[in-house]
Chain A
Amino acid sequence: SAVISQKPSRDICQRGTSLTIQCQVDSQVTMMFWYRQQPGQSLTLIATANQGSEATYESGFVIDKFPISRPNLTFSTLTVSNMSPEDSSIYLCSVEIGGVTDTQYFGPGTRLTVL
């Protein structure tokens, strides 16, 4: 597996502002993903963070709202832009180490509340 950390662990933000969430892995990984977990719901994939190229977004998610960076094989950021209360969720990054396993391991999550 891998040790995954996220910063911040939680935040309370005002509507109209932006927040950048960081995801750091203790080893190089092939794939990194960002998920959203809205209150009382399960996980929904936002995008795949591609190293050295633009992220691949799922239907319903756009780059202007959720810009993603992945400058190397151990780090990625997700920005939630121009926030509204509907963006209040837990945001999780996950990684796939590659090789013989295709299992995704998740970080601890960032709990975002937008007022």
Chain B
Amino acid sequence: EDQVTQSPEALRLQEGESSSLNCSYTVSGLRGLFWYRQDPGKGPEFLFTLYSAGEEKEKERLKATLTKKESFLHITAPKPEDSATYLCAFRFSGGYNKLIFGAGTRLAVHP
């Protein structure tokens, strides 16, 4: 069964303390791996799309990477405003446009 697992469920960091979030997946025929940020009471905000192993994308303090079995969201020198839930999702061959979401990682960055 195609599924995606995110770890850790929750992460607490001090401001400036870099870390990584993990998204592992078991899917045949990956057609895209997506990262979103969700603030409380809001809809997910798109961050990155990755399509093939070895691909990397960067945006400010965030960098997403992809291997054949997992994706990482690296957060460098985080600030309190980076506090949010980070969701990964994938699209697979045969799933048309359907996105399957992980449960998310709740990140709290403290000053």
What 8 A-B pairs have minimum CB-CB distances, sorted nearest first?
Answer: A106-B43, A42-B101, A43-B101, A106-B44, A42-B103, A109-B43, A108-B43, A107-B43
Q: What B residues does A111 contact at CB under 8 A?
A: 41
Q: A42-B103, A48-B97 are in contact. Are A103 and B49 (CB under 8 A)?
A: yes
A103 touching B34, Cβ below 8 Å:
yes
The one of A1, A42, A48, A92 that contacts B46, using a Cβ cutoff of 8 Å: A1
Judged by a CB distance under 8 angstroms, whether A58 is at the interface is: yes
How many whole Å from B52's CB to the nearest CB in chain A? 14
Question: Which residue of A58, A105, A109 contacts B98 across the interface (Cβ within 8 Å)?
Answer: A58
B59 in the interface (beta carbon within 8 A): no
**Interface size class, chain B:** 20 to 34
The tally of residues in A whose CB lies under 8 Å from a CB in B reads: 24
Hey, which bits of chain B sit against chain A, CB under 8 A? 31-32, 34, 36, 41-46, 49, 87, 89, 91, 96-99, 101-104
Q: Which of B31, B96, B99 contacts A104 (CB 8 A)?
A: B99
In contact, B104 and A42 (Cβ under 8 angstroms): yes
Residues of A within 8 A of B (CB): 1, 4, 31, 33, 41-45, 48, 58, 92, 94, 96, 101-109, 111
Partner of B97, one of A31, A44, A109: A31
Query: Can you identify 30 A-B contacts, CB atoms within 8 angstroms?
Result: A1-B46, A4-B43, A31-B97, A33-B97, A42-B101, A42-B102, A43-B44, A43-B87, A43-B89, A44-B101, A45-B98, A48-B96, A48-B98, A58-B98, A92-B43, A92-B44, A94-B43, A96-B97, A101-B49, A102-B31, A103-B34, A103-B46, A104-B34, A104-B46, A104-B99, A106-B44, A106-B45, A106-B46, A108-B42, A109-B43
A43 contacts across to B, CB distance below 8 A: 44, 87, 89, 99, 101
Q: Contact at B99–A45, with CB atoms within 8 Å?
A: yes
